[in-house]
Amino acid sequence: MCGIVGYIGEKEKKEVILSGLKELEYRGYDSAGFAVSTDGDMKYFKAVGKLENLAAKTRDFASMGWGAAIGHTRWATHGKPTEINAHPHLGEYSFVIHNGIIENYKEIKDELIEAGVQFVSQTDTEVIVHLFERYNASEKDPFEAYKKTVARLKGAFATLLVTKAAPGEIFFAKNAAPLVVAVSGEEVLFSSSDAPLIGMAESAYYLEDGSFGRAKRGAVEIYDANSNLIKPNFAPLPKDRGYAQKDGYRFFMEKEIYEQSRVIGECLMGRVVGEEIRLEVNDETFKDIDEIIICACGTSYHAALAASYIFERVAKIRTSVQVASEFRYKEPFLSPRALFVVISQSGETADTLEALKIAKNAGLKTLAVCNVDNSSIVRLAGEVILTRAGIEKGVASTKAFATQIVCLWMIALRLACVRGTIGADELSREIAALRNIPSVANFEPALQERIFRLAKHYMHGHGFFFIGRDIFYPLALEGALKLKEISYLHAEGYPAGEMKHGPIALADDGLYVIALLPETLLYDKTRSNVEELAARDAFITAISPREFELADDFVRTPKYDHPMSEFFAMMVVLQLLALEVALRLGNDVDMPRNLAKSVTVE
């Protein structure tokens, strides 16, 4: 959510900033802008919409020679997505960009207005630059003014500031929103994630909450939350940016659906060894616990729900699943014998991160399932399992969801072994099924072509019901979410058995029902629920290895002897269905409207 790029160096700064922001497009945005400081002169540009609008606006602008530049892609929170509200925000002689939310901005804004400051935007960000310039009027050192400014801010923020009072420097601060700094020779770079830094620098430092500092040619000063100067430990960056290219696919989402077979194999590598599950997690983490609490948002929440069935069925342990945005405010009662598991693709999900902090403060054992190493959640959690999905640029998650499910399944099996709730034969069966998942997720293009032909049926009507039972209920939720995210059509996921408890009132010939009918799990029960909908003229799309005569559309999945194999086969079908319906509607499936990849604000 939102993107930050900063640069100090002699390269063409416009190109560095635009290239970096391009790498952050997947995070979601609705406007963009940048400011450049060279030879004591400062220029800024803003544009609403895609980055090409900003590039077109600055076609004739050049900024060679040593200097500093900051750039930003904005996902609107305070104020509409307009050019005035786009970043950078300016004072009389300074510019600022910011990700996150300043919770006490109204208090600061009122104070500044009373002092005669005039605001031009509706944003919370603008208070930062005006507060800085007010302090700088009385301080002898601009950096001291910046320190006082940062000390006043409450909430989540990653911010860069350039000012004529400190030519060629960038002041920076980070709290509860990601910010990375890298050095290459005398050049200094900043970003919200490491993607824009790859190929520009060899190593980077992931700033901790509460840290702040200043950067100039060949030098970076970083202070911790207590204003102590620290010596950062820079971590190596990947060397090749090519891993984030489309490789001939039309969209990143399409590529990432096809990548699932490979990344699942990588997720299993070194963790499924012979007849044993070997995880990076110390077995002591699984001892002396009598409850699992899983906390997540969005797609990760659906992965958590599916995993809850596996934990209770295989590890015989009470498992609850919490929506992170609700959990953090409900004053939860936490048993000290609970293992607290958080799931996040980005590792920066604000609500999930705050829930993890609550669990840590309560003294619980904590475990994170995450896709991004060095992210805030990874650094905070007691134990970590990385999903190894690789960068996921499509906003609607696909391969991250698949690898989350695989990781949680392995955790449940390892926990079952530690607790002694699984026999050798059952463990062998589960491991055989795990090993088979990469082949399950490996599909032929003919399946996508089939779904493309079916997608034309779903352009009209008043909505979709995705229904399933057991682990296929969370999968139905995920299928509905995928369709909502990229097609903008109304869709709901339901437990199949809940139809007659209210939702069936909506059944008519304008309702599309996507029915998950696995042969290995509650087939007859689910079939009966689907028949009730068919009797009310709903349009039935059955996804099953077994032909269903009442189906208006039918997608046949292969026969498997394990429910999780059927789960992954149907997962692929649902992802492709959402993709092809959205493409029929002419939508940009990689960057759907109003959405952000990394949700770093509440």
- Please indicate whether residue 2 is annotated as part of the active site: yes
* Pair type for strands 235-236 and 511-516: unpaired
Rounded to 5, what percent of the chain is helix, strand, coil?
40, 25, 35
- CB burial readout 484-511, b (16+ within 10 A) else e: bbbbebebbbbbbeebeeebbebbeeeb
Angstrom distance (rounded) from CA 595 to CA 579: 16
End-to-end CA distance of the chain: 11
| Strand-by-strand arrangement of the 491-495 sheet | 491-495, 463-468, 511-516, 539-544, 553-556
- CB burial readout 313-325, b (16+ within 10 A) else e: ebbebebebbbbb
| Strand-by-strand arrangement of the 365-370 sheet | 318-323, 291-296, 338-344, 365-370, 383-386
Catalytic residue among 2, 267, 295, 407: 2
Catalytic residue among 14, 365, 393, 597: 597
Q: Token pair of 381, please? A: 């959690």
Task: Determine the longest span between alpha carbons in the chain, in angstroms.
Answer: 81
> Could you tell me if 195 and 178 are in contact, meaning their C-beta atoms sit under 8 angstroms apart?
no
Angstrom distance (rounded) from CA 312 to CA 309: 5
Q: Token pair of 408, please? A: 């949680």
Q: Token pair of 298, please? A: 């969005």
> Could you tell me if 206 and 374 are in contact, meaning their C-beta atoms sit under 8 angstroms apart?
yes
| Helix locations, 36-160, DSSP H | 51-57, 105-114, 126-136, 142-152
Residue 238 DSSP label: P
Q: Token pair of 367, please? A: 């475990």
Backbone angles phi, psi at 213, to 5 degrees: 175, -165
Q: Token pair of 223, please? A: 């202070």
Angstrom distance (rounded) from CA 157 to CA 601: 9
* CA 396 vs CA 105, 459, 532: distances in Å: 32, 20, 32
With 0-12 / 13-18 / 19 or more C-beta atoms within 10 angstroms meaning exposed / middle / buried, residue 273 is exposed
Q: Catalytic residue numbers? A: 2, 597
